[in-house]
Structure 1
C-alpha cells in the first residue's frame, strides 16, 4: 500500500473569558493534579501514559485509547513560560502510532474585570493521511476549553 505524501497547515485562535482570577486559571495548567482534573476526553477515553513536567524544556505526555477507537498520543515540550502571563509549547500528535501533526501553541492569560481572558493561538502542520484534520484540531481544542470552564466553576 502506497501512502500519499501530503502536507497541510491550519491556524486558529480561541479566546475565552473565565470568571476566575488569573492565578486559578494559571494553576489549572501549572499544577499536575488540577490539569488531570479537566484535561483530556474524560469518560470517552481509557487513560494510558501520562507525564507532567511544567518547566521550560519540560515535556508532557498524554496517551489514551478512545473506546472502540484509536489510541491518541500527545507529546509537548514547554518552550516559554512566564508565570500568570503565557505558556508556549511545541507538540506532536500520533494516532495509533502514526505521526499525525506538529504544532506550536501559545496560551495567554490576561486579567480582566470579570476574571481572566484566556487566548489559545495555534499553528499546526498535518501530515499525509491526516492532512485535512485541521478543523478537527480546533474542535478538539474548543472542547478542552469548555472542560476548563466547567472545572473553573
Structure 2
C-alpha cells in the first residue's frame, strides 16, 4: 500500500469559563497528582507510559491503548510557563506508532469575576493519512476541557 504524502494544517480556539479561582485551574495542569485525575480518556483507555515534568524544557508523555483499539502517544515539551498566566507547549501525537501530527498549543488563565476564563489556542500540522484529523483534534480537546470541568466541580 502506498501512502499519499501530504500535509494539512488546522487551528482552533476554545474558551471556557470555570467557576473556581485561577489558581485552582492552574494547579490542575501544574501538579501531577491533579492532572492524572482528569487528563486523558478515562476508563476507555488502558494506561501506558506516563511522564510528567512541568518546567520550561520539561516533557510530558501519555501513552495508552483504547480497549480493543489503537495505541495513542502524546509527547509534549513545555516551551513557556508563566505561573497562573500561561503555558505554551509543542507536542506530537502518534497512533499505533505512526507519527500523525505536530502542534503548538497555548493555554491562558485569566481571572474574571465569576472565576477563571481559560483559553486554549492550537495550531497543528497533520501528516499523510492523518491529513483530515483537525476536527477530531478539536473534538478531543473539547473532551479534555469537559473532563477538566467535571474535575473542578
Q: How many residues align?
A: 153
Consecutive aligned runs of 4 or more in structure 1 exceeding 4 Å deviation: none
Q: Distance in 1 between matches of 2:71 and 2:131?
A: 18
3-state SS of paired residue (2:80): strand
Aligned to 1:82: 82
Q: Distance in 2 between matches of 1:50 and 1:20?
A: 27
Q: Distance in 1 between matches of 2:3 and 2:128?
A: 7
- 1:64-116 superposed Cα distances (whole Å, 9 cap, x missing partner): 00011100000000000000000000000000000000000000000000100
- 1:3-46 superposed Cα distances (whole Å, 9 cap, x missing partner): 11010000000000000100000000000000000000000100
Runs of at least 5 residues in structure 2 that lack an aligned partner in the other structure = none
Aligned to 1:53: 53
TM (normalized to structure 1)? 1.00
Aligned to 2:151: 151
3-state SS of paired residue (2:144): helix
- State whether structure 2 residue 79 is matched by structure 1 residue 68: no
TM (normalized to structure 2)? 1.00
